[in-house]
Structure 1
């Protein structure tokens, strides 16, 4: 059975480097790039209706971001699975690890929002803390 690697992917330089690292270090693994459309935690309480948030537009944006990821796979003669989810990014990532049994997570040290912590982005930090699988942080 092949190892399964999850790479949270937002199109940032650290995310691209994490995807490249996953292909280099896990040459036989099945790699999945995941884009999470962020939904603020208290959104539903504040507005009450899902219709107020354009989830389709967010998913389209996620698909656009992921369009660049297969090129990284193609350069290495590898295949890549991609997926778009909605929710709080760190929670969605950890749930996917738990629900789908990923063996390892390879995540960039920070994403498009920049460094919210001195050394580690807030999503990466939360994933490291909560993940049931090993996490490799690429910086």
Structure 2
């Protein structure tokens, strides 16, 4: 029985499809949403940066409000975490630390230059994970 799932999250349609899949397919599981912040990606246009070094430390992404709304619609609660580092290793480290039973993630997240430079996060997580990984396609 799955008791704890990790859902890597960005603001992509595929990530939200993965969240919906996790919440509907595993109604009894604890769900932790994790967003990986990569300084390299921000430098290549994949995210925003600020001149104030303290501003982003505790700030949560705007799309976390949408995550809460999706969970509320299903009368579920989700834990949310922000981790720093290259996305795939940061996600896998958090999965190990949180002792999750599985990872549910979107097939693709951000696109464009950041995806080409950084590679496929979903593929890297699936190849290196020690727990089952469910990859949910982007909705049509």
Normalising to structure 2: TM-score of the pair?
A: 0.79
Q: Give the Å deviation of 1:65.
A: 2.5
Counterpart contact for 1:37–1:59, Cα < 8 Å = no
| In the alignment, structure 1 residue 19 sits paired with structure 2 residue 13 | no
Q: Does the C-alpha gap of structure 1 residues 64 and 31 become closer, same or farther in structure 2, counting only changes over 3 Å?
A: same
- Aligned CA-pair RMSD: 2.6
Q: For each residue in 1:20-44, what CA deviation from the matched residue of structure 2 results, as whole angstroms up to 9, or x when unmatched? A: 0000110000001111111229x9x
List aligned pairs for 1:93-112, cutoff 5 A: 93-112=91-110
Structure 1 residue ranges, 4+ long, deviating more than 3 angstroms after superposition: 52-56, 114-117
| In the alignment, structure 1 residue 74 sits paired with structure 2 residue 69 | no
Distance 1:88 1:59 in 2: 18
List aligned pairs for 1:47-126, cutoff 5 A: 54=53, 56-57=55-56, 60=59, 62-113=60-111, 116=115, 122-126=120-124
Count matched residues. 126
Is there any run of 5+ residues in structure 2 with no aligned partner, and where? 44-50
> Higher relative CO (CA 8 A, sep ≥ 6), structure 1 or 2?
2
**Structure with greater helix percent:** 1
Normalising to structure 1: TM-score of the pair?
A: 0.79
The 3-state SS of whatever aligns with 1:64 is coil
